[in-house]
């Protein structure tokens, strides 16, 4: 029987990469295909159903060869669960997840969502050896989480979904490669002495205390390019922009600000301090007469660029619709996308 070269096998597997059923067939066709196909199958482990997750995790735990292929691991528990009794899947379930994480020693990207916020202990094991580049977690921000993060010295992107009171602190020097943070304002405050380039914060404290915290981000001026704030109360929109334009005037991206209909001139005066700003995201969905027409949005975009001529992109948010206006060769071009969510947008990372 004619033997196929490893290069040809790899090419055939590559052409089948998007068809999982074909990859599974190649695994049992012959030894020449098995390794290349298994690498493709197990590089990305994406799980959402608990029963499916148990099977996959047990397979990884019992087979070291397969576990070493995993680079991306995701268990995204439905949130909120369809049935209240599904919120906490039980210690035995999460122990199985932990054993799988111990097995996948070459992991680079991790996403785990725990709807019960009770199982952060699974990451607090000295047997976990991987060094992540990106992590997205829905857990309680507690001592086990902080201990785990401080072992991830190669971490570049941290997304953390937790909005309750925070009592534990991570030391920025233990995250020397961190460049992107997405989470609450109270957690983000712990990273103002880092080298972050892009940050998105949910304003999770009262209006007045928030205004005292924003100036502290001025310590990031040398590195920070994108700064996104979610859920800014209307009453502090202008004072917040005033602070940011003074302490972070070199930003390339700024959002997501409620754009005041009555206070536009003051808003635009603050933008004039920002001589490098290229992208701005504005919430105009709270206006009595929403500017949904192209002509109204074009007029607003042109007005903003008159005061801040470095602007290349303006994003108007109206509820869950994103209107993106791009300025190119002295013309505005626009595109609208429905069913969008600001917290899931990556516009703040584009600049």
90: alpha, beta or left, given left = phi > 0 and alpha = psi -120 to 50? Answer: left
The better pLDDT of the pair 82, 310 is held by 310
Q: How far apart are CA 113 and CA 77, in angstroms?
A: 5
The better pLDDT of the pair 43, 8 is held by 43
In three-state secondary structure terms, 111 is strand
Query: How many angstroms separate the Cα of 22 from the Cα of each of 15, 121, 140, 185?
Result: 10, 38, 40, 46
Range with lowest mean pLDDT among 48-52, 101-105, 134-138: 48-52
Backbone angles phi, psi at 87, to 5 degrees: -55, -55
| β partners of residue 325 | 314, 334
Q: How far apart are CA 314 and CA 127, in angstroms?
A: 47
pLDDT of residue 1: 45
Would the pLDDT of 127 be above 80? Answer: yes
pLDDT of residue 281: 98
Mean pLDDT of 117-143: 96
Look up residue 317 and give its two tokens: 């948010």
pLDDT of residue 280: 98
Residue 55: HSE in the Cβ half-sphere, 13 Å Cα cutoff: 6
Q: How far apart are CA 209 and CA 254, in angstroms?
A: 21
pLDDT of residue 31: 58
Query: Cβ neighbours of residue 193 under 8 Å, at least 6 residues apart?
Result: 172, 219
Is 200 in contact with 228 (CB distance < 8 Å)? yes
Would the pLDDT of 26 be above 80? Answer: no
Nearest to 188 by CA among 168, 217, 150: 217
Q: How far apart are CA 138 and CA 124, in angstroms?
A: 15
Mean pLDDT of 256-281: 95
Would the pLDDT of 18 be above 70? Answer: no
**What 8-state DSSP symbol labels residue 326?**
E
The better pLDDT of the pair 307, 38 is held by 307
| β partners of residue 135 | 110, 158
Going from N- to C-terminal start, the domains of the chain cover: 1-42, 48-178, 220-345
Task: Round the average pLDDT of the chain to a whole number and report it.
Answer: 90
**Burial class of 315 by CB neighbour count within 10 A (0 to 12, 13 to 18, 19+):** buried
Is 67 in contact with 103 (CB distance < 8 Å)? yes
Which of the four pLDDT bands, split at 50, 70 and 90, describes residue 202? Answer: very high
Would the pLDDT of 145 be above 90? Answer: yes
Q: How far apart are CA 181 and CA 158, in angstroms?
A: 5
pLDDT of residue 32: 55
The better pLDDT of the pair 163, 99 is held by 99
Q: How far apart are CA 91 and CA 97, in angstroms?
A: 10
Range with lowest mean pLDDT among 34-38, 109-113, 280-284: 34-38
Would the pLDDT of 119 be above 50? Answer: yes
Write the DSSP string, 133-159. Answer: SEEEEES--SHHHHHHHTT-TT--EEE
pLDDT of residue 38: 72
The better pLDDT of the pair 18, 233 is held by 233
Which of the four pLDDT bands, split at 50, 70 and 90, describes residue 213? Answer: very high
- Report the sign of the C-alpha dihedral through residues 16, 19, 20, 21, in that order: negative
E strand map for 68-145: 72-76, 109-113, 134-138
Look up residue 148 and give its two tokens: 């785990």
Which of the four pLDDT bands, split at 50, 70 and 90, describes residue 263? Answer: confident
Mean pLDDT of 324-334: 95
| β partners of residue 229 | 201
């Amino acid at each position: 029987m004619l033997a196929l070269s490893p290069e040809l096998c790899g090419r055939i597997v590559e052409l089948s990469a998007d068809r999982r059923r074909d990859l599974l067939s190649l695994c049992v066709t012959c030894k020449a295909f098995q390794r290349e196909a298994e690498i493709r199958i197990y590089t990305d482990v994406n799980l959402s159903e608990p029963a499916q997750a148990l099977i996959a995790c047990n397979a990884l735990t019992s087979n070291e060869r397969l576990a070493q292929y995993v680079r991306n691991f995701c268990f995204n528990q439905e949130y909120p669960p369809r049935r209240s009794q599904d919120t906490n899947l039980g210690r035995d379930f999460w122990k199985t997840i932990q054993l799988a994480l111990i097995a996948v020693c070459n992991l680079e990207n991790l996403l785990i969502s725990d709807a019960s916020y009770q199982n952060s202990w699974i990451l607090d094991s000295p047997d976990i050896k991987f060094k992540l580049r990106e992590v997205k977690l829905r857990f309680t921000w507690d001592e086990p989480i902080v201990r785990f993060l401080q072992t991830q010295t190669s971490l570049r992107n941290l997304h953390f979904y937790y909005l309750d009171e925070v009592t534990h602190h991570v030391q920025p020097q233990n995250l020397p490669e961190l460049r992107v943070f997405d989470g609450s304002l109270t957690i983000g405050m712990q990273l103002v002495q880092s080298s972050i380039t892009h940050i998105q914060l949910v304003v999770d404290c009262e209006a007045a205390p928030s205004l005292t915290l924003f100036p502290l981000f001025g310590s990031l001026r040398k590195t920070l390019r994108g700064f996104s704030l979610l859920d800014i109360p209307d009453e502090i929109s202008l004072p917040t922009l005033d602070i940011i334009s003074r302490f972070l005037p070199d930003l390339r991206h700024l959002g997501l600000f409620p754009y005041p209909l009555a206070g536009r001139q003051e808003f635009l005066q603050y933008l004039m301090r920002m001589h490098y700003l290229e992208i701005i995201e504005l919430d105009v969905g709270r206006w009595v007469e929403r500017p949904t027409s192209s002509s109204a949005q074009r007029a607003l975009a042109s007005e903003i660029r008159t005061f801040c001529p470095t602007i290349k992109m303006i994003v108007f948010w109206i509820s869950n619709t994103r209107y993106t206006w791009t300025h190119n060769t002295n013309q505005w071009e626009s595109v609208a996308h429905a069913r969008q969510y600001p917290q899931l947008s990556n516009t703040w990372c584009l600049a």
